[in-house]
Chains A and B, each alone.
Chain A
Amino acid sequence: MTFKLALKNISSKPWRAVATIFVVAVAVSLIFAMLSFSDAVYDYLFQVETAGAGISDITIKTNSTSDRIFGADGIENIEGVDTVVPTLNLFGLYKDDYLSLRGFNKGDYQKLSQMEVVDGDIDALDQNTDNVVIGESMAKAYELSVGSSLEIEMGERKVTFYVVAIAEDSGHFLASSPYTVIGNVKGVSRLIFGEQAVYNEIYIMVKDDVKVEDVIDKILAVETYSQMTVSASQDVEYIQNHTDSMSAPVVIAGLGVYVLAMAFVVLIAFTSLTERKKFVAKLTVVGATKTQILFTFLWEVLILAFGGAVIGSILASGVFALLLKLTLSSTVAFSVSVLKLFLSSSIGFITAVLAVMIPIVTALKSTVRANENEKKSKSVVAVALPIALVLVAIVSVIVEHTAKGGKGAMSMVNLVLVLLAVVVAVPTVLRLVAILLSKVQKSVVQLSAKTVARERRHTRLQILTAGMTVAMLMFMAWSVTTDIFTGYLKEFEDKVFVTNITSSTLENGDIDGILQMEGVKNAIPMVWKQGSIVETGKSQNVNVLGSENTLDIVDFEYITEENTIREKLLENGNVVIDKAYQELYKINVGDKITLDIDGKSATLTVCGIVSHNLFNGNYAVVSLGTLKDMYGMGADTILVVADDASKTADAIRSQYAERNYYSIEALTMYRWDAESLGSVFDLVGTLAFVMAVLVYMVLVAGAVASRPSGEKTRTAFLSAGMSKNTLLGGEVIEYALTGFVAFVVSFGASALMTASLIGALRIFGLYFDFMYSAGTVAIVGAVLTVGYALIPLLAGFKKGYSLKKQSTF
């Protein structure tokens, strides 16, 4: 019986049912996307970062303190070593673009990662030393097919290779800058001399139950490899840090949208609350018990929420794929976790049920009479709750910003608390403003203000305020992050990286040669590597800027006095860090930090603090002397500053083609990161826009749907001789007043929430100074306020004014 009634209820309001299911479905999809995004990013970054090393545990590479080529004899005898895969990796030019040519010994081609062939035959690699396999993207980019030849240049040497197979863009072929070509070591070595087996990289798989670090130590103890870079093939820490930075904005934006989706569910429930109360009254009158009534509504919401959860689960993969495509790359593969899907559906389902049932349960507590008259006495709780919530929020915000270590988790809590406090308190603010305005002499304003002051239900005001606050926050986040990101990219615009340099680079005058090139402003040899600092609670990945000359190239803001930093940095054992570390991890000048680079560890003293948005402050400046003495490490990169980075990168590429350097614009090197982060920020902006539009649409819908409740009053005014235009003007003023109050409250709340948002980002290891784009916030608020004020005009309220309804009163 109750089930049938529920079905009848659903079918009688099909649009309401569809809207509820849709919103629940969207919420479920978003929850799933948020839960899965970080893992997908991690998996993708893992694949990108390990594209070269594959499943190996240890990588041995040449560097500027070692020879450029070496043999691989005897390494298999080192204790703990299971499999050895030596390779020769050279950067050749094909049609003026770099290619990474990776030469393997016969039979080793797939030991690091499998090649998924889409055309041709990988076994043909064994038939000739000049046969190669390329990836699909490269084949497409250069219109190559199986059987095609590639003439690769390295200085004066030109060597032709033949494509025997094309593989999927995974494993070896995941990277596109540069594209990778897999061949035989003897074929690749023709770019240097004859068909000889020499190597510049070795990948090692260690035996089970053997610690990678132990084997690294043993390899480093062998003199041949002691000067080389011997490190773990997978820098999990770096990948995790990178994942966190990529995921944070999306997860936070996604959470915002999820909260909003749930607010819509509540709104849909609320917009029909009057009708539902009447329905409850009718059922009560005909003798239905409270349980029966409750079950009628429960069945209805269960059906709708279940429908939403199911559809959301179906849509989840698509929404997630879309999200990944928008933010990362269409090549990112992901698998659907059943557990996460179940979790997402459950959260969406339960939240929706609660959102709908709570007001109904509240309604059921009222008497039939009360329901019919829509009157409710104010309880003490109803008065005390907003006050308590506002007080708690104020205290919590004060604690967050004053107490040591207050930022982080507390900021996250405050994000919710401030929003809740605002939503709860805004009706009171409106009422106070209305009371003040009711003293105004102008009759229409007075009338509107009195109407507003008498209003007991402020659902739309609360939704408007919440929506406006979140929209302001998201727009502001988009604006600020985009500004930071643009500044970040700008820092790279005039820079060129020349990597893969060797000991002879520093001796044979190549740096002087680069400095003499047209348009080159500066060129410094440096170490450009990933390291990690352990004093950050967990091991925190850091970008090592390994040269004292970095200070001349990057426009740092000096927190510690500049001369002191310049002087101290030259002393061995010192390091300069960003203000972010001071803020996030309370590391100060004079503190000791342990900096790990490529498996080598040293304790350094913080000699100064600077500030720059480079890598979001996630960097450490160390001198070349310190790196050499304490890590046995020489420069691995020449950082060039030039008027035209692209032109200079090409010129270096061409002038030093035979050196096996990899000369590339800094922006190109970080292209994936730049594009992905740009997409993520754009996504935040898009979500902000979509959310603002949805908020507005919901408000319009809410306003239209709640028209009947004020009809008696309006008819009374008209009967009293008020003109339709005056009534419309009054309504516009009423809406404008509501909008204005929401605007003012949201403006203040958004500032507080921005501070909390910045604090909350610390959880992801991100530090930013407080930034607040008041202009952006004001524009978003003003647009929504004006839009809200115009609802009576846009929704054609005037057409609904009628005296005839008087008879029904």
Chain B
Amino acid sequence: MKDKLAKIIICFILVATLVVTLVACEPDVEPDPAKERKEVVDVFTNTFVKSLDTLWTNVTMSADEMANLPNAGDYILAVEMTKFYADVIDKSPLQTEKINNITKYIASDEGQKIFKAEEFDGNLVFEFMSGVGLTATDVESLVYGGLYKFIESGDTIYSNAIALINQVKSKAGASAQTRQNLDEVLQEMQVGAQSFENAVVDRQNTLKALKDAESGVKTIVSFAYNNAMLFGNGTNKNLITALQTGMLQDASQGEMATYLSSVLDYIEDAVADLEGQVDEVVDALDKVSNIYDKLVVGSGVISDVFTVIEQNKVLPKILPALEDIVSNARGVALKKNGNEYPFISGVTTCLGEGYAIEGDDDSANEIVAYARMFLALAGVEYTATGDTLSSQIAVAKSLVQDLVEVLAGDGTRDSKMNAISVVALLYVDSPSGTMIGDVEVLRVVELYTADLIYDVFKKAYLEYSVNQSLESANAVQNSARILMRFVTGEEVSSVATTFNQQWYENICAQFETKRASEIEACYPSAKADLDKRVDTFFEDGIYALIDIANMTPVALDDEGYVAFDEEVDKLYQEALTAILGREN
């Protein structure tokens, strides 16, 4: 009996020891952030692709499965592009949970509504960014990361897609519709690959330039993003909505001043961040711009990334001048007399309750408000008189002249075109034979128009390369005719019947040569005219604007508007004449 008991006890002890040992040996399950991130990114990739088409069940469909898709080519392209984005996101500092949240948002009804909109335009991009809760830091990282990665290895998108398309094409089961789609995308990829090869000729130097200017490039991107969020259209009217709804509803003048000041801080912060690296940033953005100039990319994120850079490449140069203007404007816009902010009071009184700039665009009060805002931006108090006013106008003139010099006087092609574009726009409806200095108006306007058409031509040719439709062929034909008329000076009835890369490059070369010579011919007169207009405005036009700004806002009628006032109209026309240099 004792033995039996002893055995039971020993067995119990052994089992207990084993259990304890097993429990003790079980490793602590420490989360592996890298593994977790990879899983989250994989889910993102899968969700993203699936959300584009109901037939696309996952991101890893086999060649046989793809062969059964009517839009197999689109699928392959989507997968390659999504993998590219996913890799950018993975290597970005975006928090893993944020990637998870982006995935959830894409899958949500709200996200799908934006995602599957027929035109995924700029407004929707911002709505999407806002919806997923991207910060300026996220956007700058993603744009920079996307740009860098595309230049570094964008060609693999094309080569991978081409290889996969060929693999699927070889499958017997592919339908005619599938094959047609595969061929279309294959051509698009081949064009893309070719253009990439042509455009990214100095990859290492471009990447190095980007790396050296990383912080500055990011500053430009976040500045552009913040501005877009503040002043952008669509759902992100922060500038207005912040003061109409939420915590700051019925904002006081002081609160508006604080808000306005924090908006102006953007420029000063950006200038501070860029200090000491403007040249590097300009160099990097120029290199990127040169690539974009020759690159054939369709609409989509890559295109958006390049567009952001293209549209804001001038910022590093003009930000310091803008900062001077803003700094000067701050003194007027945020000036305080006792508890009153005259500028804010002056503008809000004109715009009425809610500060909404909507309804009757021609209301006299709004014109008065705009005049007051413009003057404040120039650093001129509309209530100032005598020496104070003269002094303020002199400072404003000097700052604007500096800005004009930065924008149109640094000797670069873009700078010269800026001067020519502004002048062309001012003279666009002038009678034939009107002279701008030594140059006839028509020559300047034609140069400006041709420059615009050149971009249209390049885009049309891209469309044609990808999809040789009659519509795209006509677009290429028409734009090429205009360009050749600019080059030859004669009407061109037809340029070609079929277009190829060699023809395209030939047209581009001819246009660029002609444009260069025309710029040299027109720029001195255009620049001189521009300078003269600045002088004229600050000697004459600004006073008309001051007169408008000093008009007493009229009380709103029953419907909330003020009928256009003749007196205001007269002054408005005078101001316009002074600004434009001619009758409106």
**Contacts from A to B (Cβ < 8 Å):** 66-71, 73, 90, 127-131, 147-149, 154-157, 159-160, 162, 164, 186-187, 190-198, 223-224, 503-504, 507-508, 658-660
Given known contacts A69-B258, A90-B247, what 12 new A-B pairs fall within 8 Å (CB)? Answer: A67-B258, A71-B261, A127-B93, A128-B138, A130-B135, A154-B247, A164-B95, A194-B226, A194-B238, A195-B135, A198-B258, A504-B249
Residue contact A128 to B93, C-beta cutoff 8 Å: yes
Contact A149 B101 (CB under 8 A): yes
- Which bucket holds chain B's interface residue count? 35 or more
Q: Is B370's CB within 8 Å of the partner chain A?
A: no
Closest to B243 in A: A193
Instruction: Pull 17 A–B residue pairs with CB atoms less than 8 Å apart, ordered by A.
Output: A66-B254, A67-B254, A68-B247, A90-B247, A127-B93, A130-B98, A148-B97, A149-B97, A159-B133, A162-B97, A186-B135, A193-B248, A196-B263, A198-B259, A223-B336, A658-B246, A658-B249
Given known pairs A129-B137, A130-B135, A156-B245, the reply for A508 and B250 (CB within 8 Å) is yes
A193 contact from B36, B100, B242, B261, Cβ within 8 A: B242
Tell me, rounded to whole Å, the shortest Cβ–Cβ distance linking A386 to chain B.
69
| 4 tightest Cβ-Cβ pairs between the two chains A and B | A193-B242, A196-B262, A67-B254, A162-B95
Confirm or deny: B136 has a beta carbon within 8 angstroms of a beta carbon on chain A. yes
Residues of B contacting A129 in the complex (Cβ-Cβ under 8 angstroms): 135-137
What number of A-B contacts does a CB cutoff of 8 Å give? 112
Q: How far is the CB of B172 from chain A (nearest CB, A)?
A: 48
Specify the chain A residue showing the minimal Cβ separation from B242. A193
A74 to chain B, nearest CB (A): 12
CB distance from B373 to the nearest CB of A (A): 19
CB pair B229–A194 under 8 Å, yes or no, is yes
CA distance A809 to B252 in the complex (A): 103
Q: For residue A127, which residues in chain B have a CB less than 8 angstroms away from its CB?
A: 93, 137
Docked complex Cα distance between A193 and B101 (Å): 21
A504-B250 contact in complex given A129-B135, A160-B133, A223-B336, C-beta closer than 8 Å: yes
B196 shortest CB reach to chain A, Å: 32
Please tell me if B255 contacts chain A, counting CB pairs below 8 Å. Answer: yes
Closest residue to B134 on the A side, CB-wise?
A130
| Residue contact B96 to A196, C-beta cutoff 8 Å | no
Determine the distance from Cα of A157 to Cα of B235 in the docked complex, in whole angstroms.
13
Check A128/B135 contact, CB under 8 A, given A68-B247, A198-B258. Answer: yes
Q: Provide the residues of chain A in CB contact with B136, threshold 8 Å.
A: 129, 195
Chain B residues lying within 8 Å of A155, measured Cβ to Cβ, are: 245-247
The answer for the CA separation of A283 and B247 in the assembled complex, in Å, is 90
Smallest CB-CB separation from B94: which chain A residue? A128
Which chain A residues lie closer than 8 Å to B226 at the CB level?
Answer: 194-195
For the complex, is B273 an interface residue (Cβ under 8 Å from A)? no
**In whole angstroms, what is the CA distance A67 to B251 when docked?**
8
**CB distance A67 to B265 under 8 Å?**
no
Chain A residue nearest to B254 in the complex (CB): A67
Please tell me if B389 contacts chain A, counting CB pairs below 8 Å. Answer: no
B230 in contact (CB, < 8 A): yes
Most buried by B among A131, A194, A507: A194
Q: Are A128 and B96 in contact, CB atoms less than 8 angstroms apart? A: no
Which A residues touch B229, using CB under 8 A?
194
Instruction: Tell me the complex Cα distance, A196–B226, Å.
Output: 9
Interface pair A128/B97, CB less than 8 Å apart: no
Nearest CB on A from B335, distance (A):
12
Assess whether B95 is in contact with A131, with CB atoms less than 8 Å apart: yes
Give the residues in chain B near A197, CB-CB below 8 Å: 262, 265
Contact of B262 among A71, A157, A503 (CB under 8 A): A71
Given A69-B258, A70-B258, A195-B226, the answer on whether A187 and B247 have CB atoms closer than 8 Å is no
> Within the complex, what minimum Cβ distance (angstroms) separates A462 from chain B?
58
Q: Please report which residues of chain B, range 328-369, place their CB below 8 angstroms from some CB of chain A when the two chains form the complex.
A: 336, 338-339
Cβ-neighbour of B255 out of A67, A190, A508 (below 8 A): A67
Q: Is the CB of B137 within 8 A of A128?
A: yes
Asked whether A71 lies within 8 Å of B258 as measured between CB atoms, the reply is yes
Which B residues lie within 8 Å of A224 (CB)?
A: 254
Q: Contact at A193–B238, with CB atoms within 8 Å?
A: yes
Chain B residues with CB under 8 A of A67: 252, 254-255, 258
B259 touches A658 (CB 8 A): no
Instruction: Report Cα–Cα, A346/B380, bound state, in Å.
Output: 80
Contact A128-B95, Cβ < 8 Å, known A149-B101, A155-B246, A194-B226: yes
- Cβ of A190: which chain B residues have Cβ within 8 Å of it? 135
* Docked pose: A164 CA to B245 CA in angstroms: 31
**Partner among B138, B255, B261, B263 whose Cβ is within 8 Å of the Cβ of A68:** B255
Q: What's the nearest-Cβ distance from chain A to residue B29, in Å? A: 13
